[in-house]
Structure 1
Amino acid sequence: MPSFTFSHVALLTSGLVAQVAHGYTQVNVGSIFMNKNIDPIVFPGSYSKSHLHSFFGSDAVTANTNTSAELQAGCTNVENPNDLSVYWVPTLLYKNGDKQEPVPLSRFSAYYSLGDTPAEVPIPQNLRMVAGNAGAKTAADMVEAAHSEWFCENGGGGAADANGFPSSTCNTHLQQLLYFPNCVNEQTLETAYKAGQPGNYKACPAGMKAMPQLRFSIRYDLRKVLPNGWSGTAPIQLACGNAFCSHGDFINGWTEESAKNMVATTTTKHSFQAVEGSLGKNGAKPTCKSADAEPDKGTSDFAESVSLMSKRSVPAMGWISRNRFARA
């Protein structure tokens, strides 16, 4: 069964939401600091092969970023100074006249699930991960374990349209959820999902250990840009295509100290636990101003990014979040 069919309603009725909510930490971001056509995991070094992405976290990220240390030298817009990770997703767009422009963000949250089964090891330094399939065009192409879904927060939305988005106006925010691998080989940095599903995970594959599971929760606010709402096909798209191509990327930038502290909370805690470290407390607002580290390279314009991609000689598909090596 493709992950798209793992619906928010199914989560609620099965009780999995309640289980997943036990034992976790969370970091919030109030804004996108950069929209840009780079992807240092899938297309390292390129400023013409990637579709447009929206970035959160450490602004030290460039098309060539490989390590946690590089990110830890930057400024983060995450509300936890110990988390200098970088998180990115394909840019969500709406039509404004003749242009496709980014949909305003309400909030990006990175959850690290701690209560399903205890984590055995910290998220390793230099770990890079992708969740989802950037080349998916139908629900059948999606990665089931990523459990990607789009729904309306606080009601509305109706059934999914042909593109996988809600078919009618959201009462408040449009929300996306996306789950990342939760097992890792500490030597090779290969990642994988545990057997089972959220709320009922089982063992990691042989040779791997459990780490805190990253989950994206992204809320978009369409009310100002689409004040009349919609009925039928949602007037939005991702930079990679329809909702089925939803995916997320992550390069770990948590300090080693705070990453270890995150694991410690998994042994006995069963509710939200702040992960802190020597750089400050969870929830602290950013004290620096994030900015594009390479403002003269690449583009933030969707049409230009599409034009640049048309000249490339590589497949459009990005990495898929199955077992794979992620070491630089």
Structure 2
Amino acid sequence: MLAQLASAYTQVNVDSPFMQKNIDPIVFPGQYSKSHLHSFYGSDAVTINTTTSAELQKGCTNAENPNDLSVYWAPTVLYTTDSGKTYKPVPVARFSAYYNLGETEAEVAIPQNLKMLAGSATATTQAAMIADAQATWFCEGSDSSALDANGFPSSTCSTHLQQLLYFPQCVNVDTLETAYKVNKACPAGMKSMPQLRFSIRYDLRKALPNGWSGTAPVKLACGPAWCSHGDFINGWTTEAAENMIATTKEKQHFSAVNGALGAYNAGPTCTSADADPNHGTSDYAASVAAMSKRSVSAWGWETRSRFVKL
């Protein structure tokens, strides 16, 4: 099946993570005690040792497009109602993977076995962030969201807390090295591919019904908003990845990417589950203990955060 002829972007939605776990098969392959907690979307075949598209394509995806067996992950977003003594994951309203938000159309498909990272997990200040990743946090639908000292909105979001993150759009198809464009051009030896962008909406309305004013009672498993990052291992079928190229000529209209596994909006046909449930943890406190270090501080929530009603 071919992609629609209309030139545009494409989008894959996922309702919620299929697991939260302290693993990172790209940064810490084979290690359960090194990574902070991440939220995973897409193919449930991912384990701490996953390296190839073929491995992911044997799994079950909770994405709406059955041709996308990629796995996407980002640090789990946490909230506190007791001034930082305990933390729980913020409910996810929707994860969306957008493709083709680059300045020019793609020259090549996203290669099989491609692994990518965006952002910096070690950034503790805005200045330390990777500018090309354009990691931002804001209240959905708000023209301007004033940020607190940790990079989150400084007052209650009436809708969703939203995160954006851009991945490299240039790739060397032989070495699978990636890079961002410089002056709208890929580095020598690389070609442009559909650019991936994470757009994640979090629902704090039930978790924090009284809202907040001042420092948000929210953090990432890696620390403040400045450490925003994301990871991706390609699991698109080869056919669908090739079909995606036709959607990248402009970015104003949605265009479906269909394939042999079904229509773009067919939805999940199976139930996703952790492929390695006997290792690692989904508990934030246990993940911090496994890393053998203290949690990041509460950043003065006890004195600087003032809870208010919506």
The alignment's TM-score, normalised by the length of structure 1, stands at 0.84
Alignment of 1:1-328 (within 5 A): 23-97=8-82, 98-113=85-100, 116-155=103-142, 158-196=145-183, 202-267=184-249, 271-310=253-292
After the TM superposition, which of the residue ranges 31-40 and 94-103 deviates more from structure 2? Answer: 94-103
Residues 156 and 169 in structure 1, CA contact (< 8 A), matched pair in contact too: no
Q: Distance in 1 between matches of 2:288 and 2:58?
A: 31
User: Is the alpha carbon distance of 1:163 and 1:262 closer, same or farther for their aligned partners in structure 2, counting shifts above 3 Å?
Assistant: same
User: Is the alpha carbon distance of 1:152 and 1:128 closer, same or farther for their aligned partners in structure 2, counting shifts above 3 Å?
Assistant: same
Q: When the two structures are aligned, how many residues end up with a matched partner?
A: 286
Residues 120 and 211 in structure 1, CA contact (< 8 A), matched pair in contact too: yes
> Offset of 1:115 from its aligned partner?
6.6
Q: Distance in 2 between matches of 1:266 and 1:80?
A: 18
> Offset of 1:158 from its aligned partner?
4.0
Same amino acid, percent of matched pairs:
72
Q: Distance in 2 between matches of 1:301 and 1:96?
A: 17
> Offset of 1:127 from its aligned partner?
0.2
Gapped runs of 5+ residues in structure 2?
1-6, 295-310
Residues 90 and 247 in structure 1, CA contact (< 8 A), matched pair in contact too: yes
Residues 94 and 237 in structure 1, CA contact (< 8 A), matched pair in contact too: yes
Residues 101 and 197 in structure 2, CA contact (< 8 A), matched pair in contact too: no
> Offset of 1:154 from its aligned partner?
2.1
Residues 156 and 171 in structure 1, CA contact (< 8 A), matched pair in contact too: no
How large is the RMSD of aligned CA atoms in angstroms?
1.7
Gapped runs of 5+ residues in structure 1?
1-21, 197-201, 313-328
Counterpart of 1:139, as a letter, is Q
Q: Distance in 2 between matches of 1:268 and 1:234?
A: 37
Q: Distance in 1 between matches of 2:259 and 2:102?
A: 21
> Offset of 1:104 from its aligned partner?
0.2
Q: Distance in 2 between matches of 1:81 and 1:135?
A: 34
> Offset of 1:146 from its aligned partner?
0.3
> Offset of 1:264 from its aligned partner?
2.5
User: Is the alpha carbon distance of 1:114 and 1:234 closer, same or farther for their aligned partners in structure 2, counting shifts above 3 Å?
Assistant: closer
> Offset of 1:309 from its aligned partner?
0.7
Counterpart of 1:88, as a letter, is W
Tell me the equivalent position of 2:306.
none
